[in-house]
Structure 1
Amino acid sequence: MEMEQLNILAISYGCSSGWLAASYSELQGERTPLTTGPLSKHDLGWVAASTPLGSLLAISCLTWLADKYGRKSFLMLMAVPTFLNWLIISVATRPIHLCLARFLAGAGAGGIFAIVPVYITEIAEDRLRSTLGTFLSLGCALGFLIIILPGNYLSYIVVARIMCALPLIFAACFMLQPETPQFLAAQNSAKAEAALKYYRGIDCKAELDVELLQTLSKSTAGHANKENCSFADLLPPKARKAFFIGFGMVLLNQCSGCLTLEFYIAHIISDTGAGEVITIGGILQLVGTYAATHFVECAGRKTMLLISMVGICLGELCMSAYFYLTQLGYDTSSFSWVLTASYSLMISLACCGALTVGYVVMAEVCPPLIRSLAVRCHTFCIFLIAIISLKVN
């Protein structure tokens, strides 16, 4: 039940991620609600880049609050910028208002992606962590599809007002959840046992005592790691190798071009039925992410990543060939289906590996001593590269 409640926040971010693609035609059309007129390409770039910019702020300046006040309190706090994002969009009249809204959405997203994996690690059994770790991406994919469907028929202002309900529902449900057992144990709280019993569903006293001892041990080790870990701990060969493997996942996630295509797909294929392509892409994104939750254990991370990269490569090669031939003057109107097929192949297989499994690998390859620091560095790099790619493109 706690995962369903937690995923409400991920769904809200997924909706925010797909909002620009769903609202692009309205923002650049003559009937735009903005008093400044249709959104220019320059303004569009800043609206898109504001989201990862907010994420950088959250990761750099806010995630320490989760260590001091708890994972639950921090995630509840992240519902505030998520709610304000939708509220500001619903009343925005200028591009700067949209940039502010997207900045707040990014701040919530940065907190979510930095802390939710920690939350899952601390409440779940070892055998379930990899599968549950992909649920964050699954929630985002579901949110992307949810925003696309009404976005084709309703004004984005109406959609934004509806979406205001998601963070409120999350806050109302999640406030009833206890703090994670590991955090409570680190605070020497007597509530750790009750939280462990709630999250693990343990009734046997002997089994509960064993789990509590293991939680206390992990909490003590984790606290020591946070106190002692520094950038110097990234220098030993094993730590350095693990860190660069994780950074490879960062490059795989961002430099594949999937994020840029997802944000700008409506602009790229505006004359070839963008609404249909975006909807199909949203459905396949959800299917691909759902597949990752099932096959990440049995197929293996390496296999999923290799299949994903082959699919992304083929999809982008086909799309680039289509646009190259069009630019040379060839009549490609009868082959417009290539764009739909290529984008569908790319986004579905990207969600099977590069956009989902990469987050799992980042955390798993790093030694416990540097895991928290390394994951936050990797997440910071993801959003930094996202700012550059979205603004430059």
Structure 2
Amino acid sequence: MLVPAAKWVATINEGGIANQFFMALMVTIPVLNFGMLLGWQSPMTPVLQDPNGPAPEPISDETLSWMAALTFLPPIFCGFHMGGMIDKWGRKAFTMLTSLFLTISWSIMLLTLRPWALIASRVVAGFACATCYVVTPLYLKEIASDKVRGALGSLFILAQNLGYLLIYLSGDLLPFAAVMWMCTAVPVLHLLAFLLMPETPVFLIKQGKLKEAREALAWLRNTTIDDKNLEEAIKELEREEEYTKSMKQANFKSLVQDKTRFKAFRIAVNVMLSQETCGYLVVLTYAGSIFEKASDSINLKLSPNKQTIVVGTLQLLGSIVASCIVEKTGRKWLLAVTSLVTGLSMLTLGGWFLVTGAGAWMPGWLPVLAMCTCIFADAAGYQPVPYVIMSELFSFQYRGVATSLIISGTALSDFAQTKAYDPLLKLLGIHWVFIIFSIICFLGTFYTIMWVPETKGRTVEEIYAILEGKKEIEDEEAGKEVSRL
């Protein structure tokens, strides 16, 4: 027993994999807390609307609607500038700033639960959304070695889904005040602990801090600062920085002027918008009604909190699967398969609502199975993989600008969906809404197969060569790890 255990420890220590995963976990704690904040509204809505609850007055549905929507408003406007600021001030500073925004957001609700405070809290949380959705994928990309780059990148959505599940469980098991203090403690402790964490080597090189960059990279690779491979990696980073300095400053104009780079930008935009508009939010919203309808024919009686726990567990399991298999399957085909499965699940849900709405009978287990499959497949690939692809399609010079522009666009999509889906449901009916979402998923599958390149294990130069139709560039030495900037 001891020998296999020793081999396992040696494996995770080789190349600094354990250190990189530890660093990735530290980087994604603000995302976990943001997931807790997003999920908090679900188990706490009955508490907030209870006349005898902790709120000074019952919170109206309109206030709750604005709370959900306004979270995505700040990223629409400040997201455009976030990439440039992160490139200027660093990944570490903005990760800590995310925790500061989250601390302020939770603290407002600790002080008072009046409607204006709940809305103000969500606006502040929106700034945390703007920072973490831009800086976290960049941080994960720049601390990861090639063989775990996809796994670390997928931790972004895993952390968010773990946050959902934690708040669902704590909302069901703990008193309201205990939940609030727990949620506030997470970003406060992270803010203090992250002071000890290193900046990314890529950014340190950009700042001319060669000694700090060498030390940070040595720790991330679990090696000594005089290691030959480490020296080669540092030189590669320096060459990239010299090349960056020789070029014009990255902005939207320079992003679209280069034909290949603009093609990469369009691909990133399309896969992210496909992910955001696939109807996942509607499935989560209607999970309760699906469980309720199913209970008539399959004796499935679950309280609203238990239903959210089931949903949160499926999300987390899907995210764990994504982290485990993304390096084996590659990005392209994992995204294509999960978007196809999500589309088929959406189509099944739409068909079930259409048939039962017309008065015909269909088994109650079918929508539950379709919903669970949809949630699992979405978390296992359709949600995390686009973030991985987005971070791998651009060099350091353009990564911040491109990511901030894309996140602003997806935030606008989330805001519009949150406020518009209810009128849309009343106009078309839930069955047509699910069918439309299934078509979006199928279009996303087709687009992925036809135009999205496989980015696993490739440099930006190799990816762009594929986009230009050139033959794939082979590494000069088989098995040699190339710096992915």
Q: Which residue of the partner structure matches residue 342 of structure 2?
A: 312
Q: Which residue of the partner structure matches residue 64 of structure 2?
A: 44
Superposition pairs for residues 114-193 of structure 1, below 5 Å? 114-189=134-209, 190-193=211-214
- Which among 410, 422, 446 is matched to residue 382 of structure 1? 410
Deviations 1:235-291 (A, max 9, x none): 443233222211211221111011343356457767864333321111111111111
Partners in 2 of 1:166 and 1:226 — Cα distance?
41
- Per the TM alignment, residue 16 of structure 1 is displaced from its structure 2 partner at its CA by 1.3
Deviations 1:164-209 (A, max 9, x none): 1111121122111122222222222242222222222222443332
Partners in 2 of 1:162 and 1:34 — Cα distance?
18
Q: Which residue of the partner structure matches residue 364 of structure 1?
A: 392
- Which among 328, 351, 370 is matched to residue 298 of structure 1? 328
1:175 partner SS = helix
Q: Which residue of the partner structure matches residue 288 of structure 1?
A: 318
Partners in 1 of 2:247 and 2:172 — Cα distance?
49
Gap regions ≥5 residues in structure 1: none
- Cα distance 1:267–1:100, how it changes in 2: closer, same or farther (>3 A)? farther
- Which among 108, 113, 123 is matched to residue 93 of structure 1? 113
1:218 aligns with 2:240: yes
- Cα distance 1:205–1:302, how it changes in 2: closer, same or farther (>3 A)? closer
Partners in 2 of 1:43 and 1:125 — Cα distance?
45
Partners in 2 of 1:16 and 1:266 — Cα distance?
20
Contact kept, 8 Å, 2:51 with 2:57, in 1: the verdict is no
- Cα distance 1:376–1:267, how it changes in 2: closer, same or farther (>3 A)? farther
2:410 partner SS = helix
- Cα distance 1:320–1:224, how it changes in 2: closer, same or farther (>3 A)? farther
1:349 aligns with 2:370: no
The amino acid that maps onto 2:375 is I
Q: Which residue of the partner structure matches residue 19 of structure 1?
A: 40
Q: Which residue of the partner structure matches residue 4 of structure 1?
A: 25
Contact kept, 8 Å, 1:296 with 1:304, in 2: the verdict is yes
1:198 aligns with 2:219: yes
1:250 aligns with 2:280: no
Partners in 2 of 1:216 and 1:164 — Cα distance?
40
Q: Matched residues, percent identical? A: 26
Deviations 1:313-345 (A, max 9, x none): 23223333343445445677x72x444322211
The amino acid that maps onto 1:113 is Y
- Cα distance 1:339–1:105, how it changes in 2: closer, same or farther (>3 A)? farther
Partners in 2 of 1:288 and 1:224 — Cα distance?
43
Partners in 2 of 1:217 and 1:356 — Cα distance?
31
Aligned residue-pair number: 390
Q: Which residue of the partner structure matches residue 111 of structure 1?
A: 131
Partners in 1 of 2:81 and 2:256 — Cα distance?
21
The amino acid that maps onto 2:308 is I
Partners in 2 of 1:117 and 1:225 — Cα distance?
24
Partners in 1 of 2:283 and 2:115 — Cα distance?
21
- Cα distance 1:268–1:63, how it changes in 2: closer, same or farther (>3 A)? farther
Partners in 2 of 1:245 and 1:76 — Cα distance?
30
2:56 partner SS = coil
- Cα distance 1:79–1:128, how it changes in 2: closer, same or farther (>3 A)? same
Contact kept, 8 Å, 2:99 with 2:188, in 1: the verdict is yes
1:208 aligns with 2:230: yes
- Cα distance 1:205–1:367, how it changes in 2: closer, same or farther (>3 A)? closer
- Cα distance 1:318–1:230, how it changes in 2: closer, same or farther (>3 A)? closer
Contact kept, 8 Å, 1:47 with 1:99, in 2: the verdict is yes
The amino acid that maps onto 1:247 is V
Contact kept, 8 Å, 2:161 with 2:315, in 1: the verdict is yes
Partners in 1 of 2:244 and 2:40 — Cα distance?
38
Contact kept, 8 Å, 1:21 with 1:266, in 2: the verdict is no
- Per the TM alignment, residue 221 of structure 1 is displaced from its structure 2 partner at its CA by 3.5
Partners in 1 of 2:279 and 2:71 — Cα distance?
17
Contact kept, 8 Å, 1:20 with 1:263, in 2: the verdict is no
Q: Computing the radius of gyration over CA atoms, which structure comes out larger, 1 or 2?
A: 2
The amino acid that maps onto 1:345 is T
Contact kept, 8 Å, 2:35 with 2:163, in 1: the verdict is yes
What is the alpha-carbon root mean square deviation over aligned residues?
Answer: 2.6
2:202 partner SS = helix
Deviations 1:60-93 (A, max 9, x none): 3444332222211221111111112222223333
TM-score, length of structure 2 as denominator length: 0.73
Partners in 2 of 1:348 and 1:226 — Cα distance?
43
Partners in 2 of 1:135 and 1:294 — Cα distance?
10
Gap regions ≥5 residues in structure 2: 1-21, 296-301, 422-485
Partners in 1 of 2:93 and 2:109 — Cα distance?
26
Q: Which residue of the partner structure matches residue 432 of structure 2?
A: none
The amino acid that maps onto 1:302 is K
Superposition pairs for residues 54-73 of structure 1, below 5 Å? 54-73=74-93
- Cα distance 1:93–1:226, how it changes in 2: closer, same or farther (>3 A)? farther
Which stretch shows the higher mean deviation, 30-39 or 206-215?
30-39
Partners in 2 of 1:85 and 1:125 — Cα distance?
34
Contact kept, 8 Å, 1:18 with 1:263, in 2: the verdict is no
The amino acid that maps onto 1:220 is E
1:227 partner SS = coil
- Per the TM alignment, residue 104 of structure 1 is displaced from its structure 2 partner at its CA by 1.9
- Cα distance 1:364–1:61, how it changes in 2: closer, same or farther (>3 A)? closer
